[in-house]
Amino acid sequence: MEKNRSSFTSKIGFVLAAAGSAVGLGNLWRFPYLAAQHGGGIFLLVYLILSVTFGFSLMVAEIAIGRKTGLSAIGAFNKINKKCSFIGYLAALVPALILPYYSVIGGWVIKYLTVFCTGGASTAAADGYFDGFIGNTWQSLLFFAIFIGVTAVVVLLGVEKGVEKVSKIMMPILVVISVGVAAFVCISNGIRGEWEGLLYYLKPDFSNFSIMTVVAAMGQLFYSMSLAMGIMITYGSYMKKDVNLESSAHQIEFFDMGIAFLAGLMIVPSVVSYSGIEGLNKGPGLMFVTLPKVFNEMGPVLGNVIGALFFVLVLFAALTSSISLMETVVSIIQDKFHLERKVSCSIVLGASFLIGLPSALGFGVWSGFTPMGMDILSFFDFITNSILMPIVAIMTCIVVCYVMKPQAIIDETSLTGKFKLAKLFKAMIYVAPVLLIIILIFAIFEAFGITFGGFLKF
Ligand code: PHE
CB proximity list for 15: less than 8 A, separation 6 or greater? 248, 251, 252, 255
CB proximity list for 76: less than 8 A, separation 6 or greater? 65, 66, 69, 88, 233, 237
Per-residue pLDDT of the chain (458 residues; tens, 9 = 90+): 444 455 676 777 788 878 888 899 999 999 999 999 999 999 999 999 999 999 999 999 999 999 999 988 888 999 999 999 899 999 999 999 999 999 999 999 999 999 999 999 999 999 999 999 999 999 999 999 999 999 999 888 876 666 667 767 877 888 888 899 999 999 999 998 889 999 999 999 999 898 889 988 998 999 999 999 888 998 898 888 999 999 999 999 998 999 999 999 999 999 898 888 888 888 888 999 999 999 999 999 999 999 999 999 899 889 989 998 998 898 888 888 889 989 999 999 999 999 999 999 999 999 888 888 889 999 999 899 888 999 999 999 999 999 999 999 999 999 998 999 999 999 999 999 998 998 889 888 877 777 654 444 43
What is the distance in A from the centroid of ligand 1 to the CA of 228?
Answer: 11
CA 82/CA 76 separation, integer angstroms: 10
Residue 25 CA: nearest ligand 1 atom is 12
Amino acid at 66: G
pLDDT at 301: 94
CA distances from 190 to 44, 184, 263, 396 (A): 21, 10, 18, 46
Residue 94 CA: nearest ligand 1 atom is 9
Check pocket membership of 385 for ligand 1, CB cut-off 6 A: no
pLDDT at 458: 36
What is the distance in A from the centroid of ligand 1 to the CA of 245?
Answer: 20
pLDDT at 2: 42
Check pocket membership of 324 for ligand 1, CB cut-off 6 A: yes
Check pocket membership of 24 for ligand 1, CB cut-off 6 A: yes
Amino acid at 90: L
CA 256/CA 269 separation, integer angstroms: 20
Check pocket membership of 333 for ligand 1, CB cut-off 6 A: no
- By most ligand atoms within 8 Å of CB, the mutation choice from 21, 164, 256 for ligand 1 is 21
pTM given for the model: 0.91
417-423 long-range contacts, CB within 8 A, separation 24+: 417/244, 419/246, 420/246, 421/56, 421/246
Phi then psi dihedrals of residue 351, to 5 deg: -65, -40
Q: Helix 211-224 to helix 389-398 angle, to the nearest 10 degrees?
A: 80
